[in-house]
Structure 1
């Protein structure tokens, strides 16, 4: 299932992907039009709809009108998750599940999905299971090159995940207790606490 199965406007989907990929940045209409690759009137129309829905806010600076996501919107985190699964590493994982082996759990850091650059010691992506490491590495490299952002990821076998979780490993628990986006697996069987 794709976002296009729920949201019928392709322009709106592209705008959401652009806006969510840089949540801290104010973007103006012409910049969004270039990024989305469509006509300016279609972009304006969809921005007007997103603004009316309260998902974005607009701000006038000089002669330019800038748009920014509203993080206080009731559906902000749900939309972040949906968009993260439609683009970038989320899409890469979901589209290649059958080639990745037995993925028991895959979580993406919400902070990474919001466009924040992570420190070297922070985790962006956790994949648990019997994983085809060369394929995962290929996906990560491909997405990193396209997004020009490094992805810090860790792969754990099921037993190792359970061992570290039961041992209350600080690194793992810190990631699990942070806001994350569920990408794949069985979250109920892989209890996180």
Structure 2
């Protein structure tokens, strides 16, 4: 979807990476390596997005680190577009809200990094009927044209494994209000 609105693939990748998970950041060479792009093309897009105020930059040693400007008036809209492009909005609506006792849902792997690889890793915490979940996931995979790998954890299992998830990129997509 974004690719039809924004013709620069590099700009789309930057928006997906930095706006899907606004806590993520990156510097020029790291982003160029991750995207398989030249540093020049990434630099041009970083500069354009920073000049528009959509990205913030800060020096870290000899490098400049970029991240999404959460204070920009268009931040919520751009983040919403990215989530819709990746199908996360439908994931939450179709799966999490219909399962009952879900306390936390998050995405790990490529999607959490803002990379649309066609494989989404979803972790759900709570009491969940796995057969019902599988049916919902199957329908969503067809609709979004992606593969969803899922893992269901009880509250206790999640507490034990939490450090493992915190050490990798993860994006919380739903959390039960306490």
Query: Smaller-chain TM-score range?
Result: 0.5 to 0.7
CA RMSD of aligned residues (A): 4.4
How many aligned residue pairs are there? 133
- Structure 1: which 5+ runs fail to align? 95-104, 122-130, 154-170, 176-193
Runs of 4 or more consecutive aligned structure 1 residues displaced over 6 Å after TM superposition: 150-153
Residue 20 of structure 1 aligns with which residue? Answer: 19
Deviation per residue, 1:58-114 (Å, 9 max, x gap): 111111110011101000000001111222x438x59xxxxxxxxxx65989x968x
Per-residue deviation, 1:10: 1.1
Does the 8 Å CA contact 2:17/2:24 hold for their aligned counterparts?
no
Alpha-carbon deviation of 1:31? Answer: 1.2
Cα deviation, residue 30, structure 1: 1.1
Who is 2:44 aligned against?
Answer: 45
Q: Name the residue aligned to 1:133.
A: 136
Question: Which stretch shows the higher mean deviation, 21-30 or 31-40?
Answer: 21-30
**1:73 corresponds to:** 72
TM-score by length of structure 1 reads 0.53
Q: Is the 8 A contact 1:55 1:69 kept in 2?
A: yes
Larger C-alpha radius of gyration, 1 or 2? 1
Quick check: 2:106–2:171 contact (8 Å CA) kept in 1? no
Q: Offset of 1:23 from its aligned partner?
A: 1.3
Is 1:82 the counterpart of 2:57 in the alignment?
Answer: no
Aligned to 2:125: 120
**Match of residue 99 from structure 1:** none
TM-score between both structures, scaled by the size of structure 2: 0.56
DSSP-derived class of the 1:120 partner: strand
